[in-house]
Amino acid sequence: MRVVLGVGGGIAAYKSAELVRALQQRGHDVQVVMTRAAREFIQPLTFAALTGRKVITDLFSQSGGEDTLSSAVEHIAVAHENEVLVVAPATADLLARFSHGLADDFLTTLYLAFEGKVVLAPAMNSAMWEHAATKTNLGILQQRGHVIIEPEEGWLACGTLGAGRLPDPVRIAEQVDSITRRKRDLTGESILITAGPTQEALDPVRYISNRSSGKMGYAIAHAAAERGARVVLVSGPVSIPAPHNVEVIHVRTAQEMRKAVFDHLEETSIIIKSAAVADYYMANVPQQKLKKTATRLSLELDPTPDILAEAGQRKGDRLLIGFAAETENLVEEARRKMISKHCDMLVANLVNRDGLGFDADQNEVDIILPSGQAVHAGPADKKDIAERILDQVATLRLHLRAVEKPA
Ligand code: PMT
């Protein structure tokens, strides 16, 4: 794979030479781009000798004639020729310039023109790393879908102990490797995912809801987009950022979620229902705030529409993946729900354990396949669980295609 390595101006720039070697040892073809500051720390000649290629240093390095034109558009050519842009060390200054879209040298201009995967390995003094401005810039870059390889703790060049050291070049090369190996097995699919809770009003200020954070559904949406799918995410009220390359439709109630799901049914090939939809709502919400009284308050609630069950009736040849949140008899209950709601697959999770399921970063699930077999996954980060679920979805899709169209 063709990788362009951007070298920023930090003391860790010398490690970039080792990174070139580590990338080459994994079969990558490396083009180096250096900032002006990087050249204060290491000579372009080192990289030219390692890569056997001219090192790009300036936006306008030629003087006069046709060369000026070819140099002026070189960043576009480099952007098109390479599949991954790795910046190591990514200084605080580079993070700020990338996040704000400044384009005053070759590397920042290349970044704006680049359409492939971006991997940033920040390295700096620990106070700069902890600064609110750096954190804000990193947040913006993360939201754009870039991979951030966090710096390590240790003794820094400034003589202090803390976070900010560029990770081992072999570790960075391994991350680049895992990105380039990533599957694109959902290309061509249009996936609709529901996530988060719904809120059902009791009066103008109160509502019934649940502890769903949306993390599970958002992780699936992010992973599905990375694997090449077009993704629509119908999300209840949550406080996490929208994944990159995903269309998010914000809803509040079960009724609104139902409408959003069926408005998009036509263009959808796979539906994944990870949302924790409220089962009951108040049909006649009082116009005024309920008054506090000394006596017991009884609320009359009606069932919300069962979106999953309706999707099971209307799915046609779409794949339908339901979820089940249980506190006992997990697999049995999940199998029952899967059959009664006409799902092709169902993800079951126990939701009465600390640190897993609702509002947690991790989950542990049983994925019930069409045969009824349960495939166990976790405990693991929700992003890993999301990949395991999508592995099963992609396998099922392939299997069904093969059955539909025998060779
Ligand atoms: O959001 P997180 O904090 O990351 O937590 C993730 C999760 C625990 C919410 C998630 O993993 C999960 O289990 N989601 C399903 C929660 C749920 O509502 O389960 P259930 O067993 O009550 O519902 C079964 C299925 O029917 C679900 O696919 C649900 O989306 C669907 N349903 C339920 C009620 C309803 N009125 N309409 C529905 O479509």
Residue 213 sits in the same domain as residue 64: no
Model-level pTM? 0.76
**165 and 198 housed in the same domain:** no
Backbone angles phi, psi at 314, to 5 degrees: -105, 5
Does 244 lie in the same domain as 387? yes
Is 229 exposed, middle or buried (CB count within 10 Å of its CB: 0-12, 13-18, 19+)?
A: buried
Q: Are residues 364 and 216 in the same domain?
A: yes
Residue 117 forms part of a structural domain: yes
**Residue 185 lies inside a defined structural domain of this protein:** no
- Domain shared by 265 and 165, yes or no: no
Q: What is the pLDDT of residues 323-349, one digit of tens each?
A: 999 999 999 999 999 999 999 999 999
- In this predicted structure, the answer to whether residue 32 has a pLDDT above a threshold of 50 is yes
The predicted pLDDT at position 132 comes to 97
Residue 351 is part of a domain; what is its CATH number? 3.40.50.10300
Instruction: Look at residue 69 in the predicted model and tell me its pLDDT.
Output: 45
Shared-domain flag, residues 134 and 206:
no
Q: What is the pLDDT of residue 61?
A: 61
Q: Tell me, what's the pLDDT at 164? A: 86
Q: Is 109 a member of any domain?
A: yes
Select the more confidently predicted residue: 80 or 100: 100
* End-to-end Cα separation, the chain, in angstroms: 32
Whole-number mean pLDDT of the chain?
92
The average pLDDT across 254-276 equals 98
CATH number, residue 6: 3.40.50.1950
Q: What are phi and psi of 31, to 5 degrees?
A: -110, 125
Average pLDDT over residues 383-398: 93
Residue 196: which region, alpha, beta or left (left: phi > 0; alpha: psi -120 to 50)? left
Residues 200 and 163 in one domain: no
CA distance 220 to 218: 5
| Residues 339 and 367 occupy one common structural domain | yes
| DSSP state string for 149-207 | -PPEEEE-TTS-EEEEEPPPHHHHHHHHHHHHH---TTTT-EEEEEESB--EESSSS-E
Residues with Cβ within 8 Å of 73's Cβ and at least 6 positions away in sequence, in order, are none
Q: What is the per-residue pLDDT across 45-76, written as a single tens digit (0 to 9) for each? A: 999 999 999 999 987 665 444 444 455 577 78
Q: What is the pLDDT of residue 406?
A: 63
The residue count for the chain: 407
Contacts of residue 406, Cβ cutoff 8 Å, sequence gap at least 6: none
> Domain range holding 95?
2-180
Residues marked active site are found at: 158
Report the half-sphere exposure of 225 (CA within 13 A, side-chain side).
21
Quickly tell me which residue has 């020729």 as its tokens: 81
| pLDDT tens digit sequence for 201-244 | 999 999 999 999 999 999 999 999 989 999 999 999 999 989 88
Q: What are phi and psi of 267, to 5 degrees?
A: -85, 5
Burial tier of 369 (Cβ tally within 10 Å: 0-12, 13-18, 19+): middle
- What residues are in contact with ligand 1 under a 6 Å CB criterion? 196, 212-216, 254, 273-277, 279, 304, 306-308, 322-325, 337, 349, 351, 357-359
Instruction: Return the higher-pLDDT residue of 1 and 17.
Output: 17
CA distance 308 to 326: 16
- What's residue 66's pLDDT? 44
Whether 273 has a pLDDT exceeding 60, the answer reads yes
Query: 130, 157, 180: which is the final residue of a domain?
Result: 180
Name the more confident of 112 and 116: 112
Separation of CA 82 and ligand 1 centre (Å): 41
Residue 378 CA to ligand 1 center (angstroms) comes to 18
Residue 129 has pLDDT above 90, yes or no: yes
CA 313 to chain CA centroid, nearest Å: 31
174 and 78 in a common domain: yes
Q: 3-state DSSP: the chain helix, strand, coil percent, rounded to 5?
A: 35, 25, 40
Domain for residue 340, yes or no? yes
Number of domains in the chain: 2
80 and 217, same domain (yes or no): no
The ligand 1 atom at the shortest distance from the C-alpha of residue 310 is 39
Q: Of all atoms in ligand 1, which is nearest to the CA of residue 326? A: 21
One domain, residues 17 and 113: yes
Residue type (1 letter), 38 = A
b/e map 28-43, b = 16+ CB within 10 Å:
bebbbbbbebbbebbe
Closest atom of ligand 1 to 337 CA is 24
Q: Which two tokens stand for residue 302?
A: 């009606």
Ligand 1 center to 236 CA (angstroms): 12
Given pLDDT bands bounded at 50, 70 and 90, which one contains residue 407? Answer: low
Last residue of a domain, one of 155, 180, 205: 180
Is the per-residue pLDDT at 255 higher than 50?
A: yes
Same domain, 216 and 355: yes
pLDDT tens per residue, range 140-185: 998 787 889 999 888 777 777 778 899 999 999 998 988 887 778 9
Structural domain ending residue among the three candidates 130, 146, 180 = 180
Q: How large a percentage of the chain has pLDDT more than 90? A: 76
Distance from the CA of 196 to the center of ligand 1, in angstroms? 8
